[in-house]
Amino acid sequence: MKPTNNFRIFLTLFLDVTTKKFLIGVWVGLAFSIAVILSTVGIMDGFERALRHGLKKSSGDITMKYANGFFTVNERLKNELKEANVKDYSPMVETESFLIFNDESRGVQIKAISPEYGKIVGIPLDLPSHSVGIGSEIARINKVGIGDEIVLAFGKGGDEFKNMPTLKRFKVAQIIHHGVFQKDARIVYARLDEIQSLMALANRVNIIAFNIDRTNLHSGNDLQAIESRLTDLRMRFEPEFYFKPYWREYGSLIEAVQAEKVLISLILQLIVVISVFNVLAFIYFINEKKSKELFLFKALGLSRRSMNNLWIKLVILIWVASSVLAVVFVQLFRFMLLKLPFFELPAEVYHMPRIDIYLSAYDYLMVFALALLWMLLITYYLLRKLRNKSLLEGLRQEFA
């Protein structure tokens, strides 16, 4: 027998308007359900990804700090870093300050950086003398633009004014967008040499930022690679030096999002199951409505197994079509999330004003595979139930 031919013949059962409408309803319903799960997972992944990306943009892969505060990057430390295979690093000073503009002030975090820092975090930072780069939310909230002059107030003045803040005027040269509200609302970049001079630090710093070597890294292993690097560094360096991955600050939030993603994905399976019941209702409907045609196929030489195979093929076809449509729906949701004002989030609460949907191949695979599994399981159960019903009895009832 030629299965492809049979399936083509089988599909002619679905050409009438009522059946077509039902089939379209089943298709769209299932696609929507899959899309809801994909979007939910994608939002969670998107949130985590944007958060990690934003955090990474504000610190690099790993930061190294000293327990006693400031330290000098002397030859010995340079050698230790070299031996630890830390190739590109950026010593910097991180401190607290107040930004004053138009008689308004806000607490900010100063990152005093050298030119190589921009390469490490992936932000093109090019600060001329006496200029700063400010976070995009600072610019928005305090209405500061490029070219404006702001004042930074540092907590420690010179000896004769030790109880007075040190005030220094800077020109805003860049507005930096990290993608994480708290970072964009807090960070001000300044030149390392100027801050060292201002704070009388000589050449001392309190942080070294660097990235891991990604030469032989397979995609997707980034986090494990950083974790592994951290373990190595902690063993190599004296305990006074401590190392943090870029996500440490929001570690618990990221873990919560990951746990929530798994739980929500499981709970949302219910939506797919409900949609699968629509598929079953469709099979049942066809078995009733088209009992004459099905009887005819059987009379003309189609075995029960071949008939079941046709149903399974139909279910798989519905699944494929629904999966494709679900991807379209996800893109539609994504567009709405990114563009429509209605979907804008309070960034102070969610760390970012909009969340993009990010889905990996694994996410697609899992959601699609689970949907197919549910469909096949429930279809198999229904086909077994239908086997108990005699087609002849059904026909007789119909023509009685």
Partner 1 sequence: MSSNVIIKIENVKKTYTKSHALRGVTFSMNAGEEYLIRGASGSGKSTLLYLLGGLDRPTEGKVIVNQKNLVELSDEDLALYRNRYVGFVFQFHFLLSSMNCMDNILLPGRLGGLESEEVVARAKQLAKLLNVEHCLEKYPYELSGGEQQRINIIRALSLKPKLLLCDEPTGNLDSENSQKVIQLLRSLAKEFGATLVVVTHDPQIAQSFTNQLVMKDGLLITQ
Binding site for partner 1 (CB under 8 A): 1-2, 5-6, 9, 12-13, 15-16, 292-293, 295-306, 390-393, 399
Q: Give whichever of 332 and 392 is closer to partner 1, judged by the CB atom.
A: 392
Q: What is the closest distance, in whole angstroms, from the C-beta atom of residue 392 to partner 1 in the complex?
A: 6
Q: What is the closest distance, in whole angstroms, from the C-beta atom of residue 318 to partner 1 in the complex?
A: 19
Q: Give whichever of 349 and 400 is closer to partner 1, judged by the CB atom.
A: 400
Measured CA to CA, the distance from residue 79 to residue 77 in angstroms comes to: 5
Give how far Cα 260 sits from Cα of 11, 89, 255, Å.
41, 35, 8
Q: What is the closest distance, in whole angstroms, from the C-beta atom of residue 361 to partner 1 in the complex?
A: 38
Q: What is the CB neighbour count within 10 angstroms for residue 81?
A: 19
Q: Give whichever of 24 and 167 is closer to partner 1, judged by the CB atom.
A: 24
Are the CB atoms for 109 and 92 separated by under 8 Å? no
DSSP-based helix, strand, coil % in the chain, nearest 5? 60, 15, 25
Are the CB atoms for 214 and 228 separated by under 8 Å? no
Q: How do 207-210 and 89-101 pair as beta strands?
A: antiparallel
Measured CA to CA, the distance from residue 263 to residue 27 in angstroms comes to: 26
Q: Give whichever of 12 and 163 is closer to partner 1, judged by the CB atom.
A: 12
Helical packing angle, 251-289 and 304-339, nearest 10°: 140
Q: What is the closest distance, in whole angstroms, from the C-beta atom of residue 377 to partner 1 in the complex?
A: 23
Q: What is the CB neighbour count within 10 angstroms for residue 318?
A: 22
Are the CB atoms for 199 and 97 separated by under 8 Å? no
Q: Give whichever of 273 and 312 is closer to partner 1, judged by the CB atom.
A: 312
Measured CA to CA, the distance from residue 217 to residue 268 in angstroms comes to: 34
Q: Give whichever of 157 and 394 is closer to partner 1, judged by the CB atom.
A: 394
Q: What is the closest distance, in whole angstroms, from the C-beta atom of residue 314 to partner 1 in the complex?
A: 16
Q: What is the closest distance, in whole angstroms, from the C-beta atom of residue 305 to partner 1 in the complex?
A: 6
Secondary structure element (H or E) that encloses residue 250, with its range: none
Measured CA to CA, the distance from residue 377 to residue 276 in angstroms comes to: 10
Q: What is the closest distance, in whole angstroms, from the C-beta atom of residue 320 to partner 1 in the complex?
A: 23
Q: Give whichever of 8 and 78 is closer to partner 1, judged by the CB atom.
A: 8
Measured CA to CA, the distance from residue 58 to residue 247 in angstroms comes to: 10
Tokens of 302: 């189609």
Are the CB atoms for 379 and 334 separated by under 8 Å? no
Q: Give whichever of 9 and 366 is closer to partner 1, judged by the CB atom.
A: 9
DSSP tag of 217: P
Q: What is the closest distance, in whole angstroms, from the C-beta atom of residue 13 to partner 1 in the complex?
A: 7
Q: Give whichever of 20 and 214 is closer to partner 1, judged by the CB atom.
A: 20
Tokens of 175: 């507005």
Q: What is the closest distance, in whole angstroms, from the C-beta atom of residue 49 to partner 1 in the complex?
A: 49
DSSP tag of 143: T
